[in-house]
Structure 1
């Protein structure tokens, strides 16, 4: 021992240094997991305020001192060291998408970590597996989803006929193909919404003597309608997340305007090339499908939407049940107070929120999934795309102002209904609310 000490080795110092190194490695592993969790929640479509809450809750469980701030496309994380009075800030670029099946898996991992049911290494490996796994549905099934949802939305929400139904299916298939092309060609992706709606608008007007323009044109782009984005934006504003909520709200409104501009532009092009031919783009459709067919059409519509937004087959029953509740309430409310009333979407949202939260409370499953199904079904009928199209056919300032208030009013109505439903089911709050509860 004396010879070793004379050689310059201090075993106590070496052991202490190894312990410090192991502690630092453990802290870094926990910090990396929190960042990875935030990135996966963003990539699978979680609301911004819930991402921050989930990261904060997980950080407290892992005994990590940190601050978290999520902006559209960016996650800001600051880790502090109380002993050394230093901090380390990370800026992570992360684009948002929506995959309901993967979102449910990420949420479950976050919940297990917060409950101490799984260690960090296993949880991190499971997140990597989710990231590296293929999308929930392949390209062909996704195209089927676009086709099915567009086909049956036409009669369900826009009073289309059987002819409108199969023509909308063809347009939905075309929009799905164009969507995949836009993901691979960035230059086309920049003008995708306007180009697609212009083409759809012109072709639909060319077939105007056979089909109903409003049903076919609007149902063709129904998957692109920013229903979830609009509702999430207002929820974020209600949660006092002003930066992200404001950006998402403006983006959702602008996205509706992109779609409406394309339709209005196509209508104008058709009018110029066919002078003397009267174009009534938003006229009421003739020969609507008998409402008794809705019992068959609604499950098929939700099946298509499930595929487009990445819900797996096990989530389909809850998805469809809640969508059915929201649609039935919406349908009878439109008969009572009309489709343009702000009461209609709020009552529909309350009904589907009540059903979704009761489902989550009874089954201990993620209530976010059936709620998503209801919101996406509720939005096509209530969102003021008709009013948006009129902006580009009517230059009055009154129309512009009415459209802006209509969009915000619809989003507020849906959010009010969801929060009231949440309060009725969980009057004292709920412990899992940070994990994707409205």
Structure 2
């Protein structure tokens, strides 16, 4: 947080107390000096209270941004808090920072503060921050106590060790494979290995090197897609004159990067644009699209490199039927419940919220699954139906049982994103361009025809477009659900949900 330096309110109050004690010891002298000193002390105490309220607003904003609060409602939370605390202020949110101006009508001055935070997700700390926010808004605790509690939350170490999170990355990647990308049991150990590799790069290597963190997404996509095509190209016995493969290339490639898909990023940008926050939404959606292009580029490069090394590399983007799960429901529903457990650990959630998270995620996925079967390739409508179910259940959990809707809904949204992308088939389209490049190199005298690069460009763009389509479907469903459960909003504390 930056801005003009202000004394801590406790120091001001202690100074005022000393002056008051001095005044009482000298009261025998009489005169108007005592009254003037009392007025001065009263003004000092009032200033200390105002500064404490401003410090609380800045601390609350910092915590909400750092722990994954709904970004399209951040300005609303700040305005609600300022209104309750009687602080004359205005707020402007940009991705990663909040600009605050505190006005003083008596002196006609304005103090501008900039709160800048690296945004992340921590479901346990987010729920605790929301509890403090509600307690202050409803006059249960004072701002000084709230500031101290927020400081304790921010200084608390993560609930789960990063090496546990790396292991869970592998488990989550293996779990997402069957229900989102038709992975078979034989593919899951390979997906687990790739997922652990991804977790190691994100949790251990990227924080240690600022330079590597800039290229983390591309290197992760290149490495995992290269390994996926390498394992997928292991041949099996011939059946009816057709070569069979031991592992499913497309399931391994897609499941391995499912946890770094920018689903939450695109969803936040869509929610901001839907809420008419043009500046924040536009900035974030452009970044999310470019991020998706990086991932699509990485998949294309990884598959192309292995295709150049192995002339008989696999090009099938459908998983073979042999060895697949016999029952489609067994293949999907138990793994969705397991995925919720892994998402809770990755996002540092509370165990007591697991039953609610699992119920909401299962309900959202089941409605999405049957809607997709009914509507076919139109996955946007299916995503809207799934998100509407999630939103209704999450908001009812908040309204009837006074639970925390945002943390309960988030894992369910993370389950919907890879499912929607799998339905649109946008993740694995880089194989066609990889085969085209190999054909151009292996065929003597072949030259690029006009428009030959079109398929490469379109394959990279397909992932970005698919991400936006999925997010738009989820956004509409969440907004309609919030409207149904809270038709007039929440008057005092603001709606703490997506």
Interval containing the TM-score (normalised by the shorter chain): over 0.9
Q: Which runs of 5+ in 2 are unaligned?
A: 1-25, 235-245, 434-452
Residue 216 (structure 1) aligns with: 252
Correspondence 1:100 to 2:123: yes
Residue 133 (structure 2) aligns with: 110
Residue 302 (structure 1) aligns with: 340
Partner of 2:429: helix, strand, or coil? helix
Correspondence 1:263 to 2:310: no
Farther off after superposition, 335-344 or 238-247: 335-344
Residue 36 (structure 1) aligns with: 59
The structure-2 alpha-carbon separation of the partners of 1:205 and 1:113, relative to structure 1 and needing over 3 Å to count, comes to: same
Q: 1:335-374, aligned counterparts within 5 Å?
A: 335-374=373-412
Larger Rg: 2
Correspondence 1:247 to 2:283: yes
- 2: distance between equivalents of 1:32 and 1:58? 12
Residue 119 of structure 1: CA displacement?
0.7
The structure-2 alpha-carbon separation of the partners of 1:265 and 1:12, relative to structure 1 and needing over 3 Å to count, comes to: same
Q: 1:75-90, aligned counterparts within 5 Å?
A: 75-90=98-113
- 1: distance between equivalents of 2:344 and 2:28? 73
Residue 487 (structure 2) aligns with: 427
Correspondence 1:387 to 2:426: yes
Q: 2:215 aligns with which of 186, 191, 213?
A: 191
Partner of 2:91: helix, strand, or coil? strand
Farther off after superposition, 350-359 or 136-145: 136-145
Pairwise CA RMSD: 2.2
- 1: distance between equivalents of 2:95 and 2:486? 30
- 1: distance between equivalents of 2:86 and 2:227? 60
- 2: distance between equivalents of 1:369 and 1:2? 58
Farther off after superposition, 385-394 or 285-294: 385-394
Residue 173 (structure 1) aligns with: 196
Residue 254 of structure 1: CA displacement?
2.1
The structure-2 alpha-carbon separation of the partners of 1:174 and 1:406, relative to structure 1 and needing over 3 Å to count, comes to: closer
Normalised TM-score (structure 2): 0.82
The structure-2 alpha-carbon separation of the partners of 1:413 and 1:430, relative to structure 1 and needing over 3 Å to count, comes to: same
Residue 28 of structure 1: CA displacement?
0.5
Q: Which runs of 5+ in 1 are unaligned?
A: none
Normalised TM-score (structure 1): 0.93
Residue 53 of structure 1: CA displacement?
0.8
Partner of 1:342: helix, strand, or coil? helix
Residue 431 of structure 1: CA displacement?
3.4
Farther off after superposition, 372-381 or 143-152: 143-152
Residue 240 of structure 1: CA displacement?
0.9
- 2: distance between equivalents of 1:30 and 1:281? 61
Partner of 1:110: helix, strand, or coil? helix
Partner of 1:76: helix, strand, or coil? strand
- 1: distance between equivalents of 2:382 and 2:167? 30
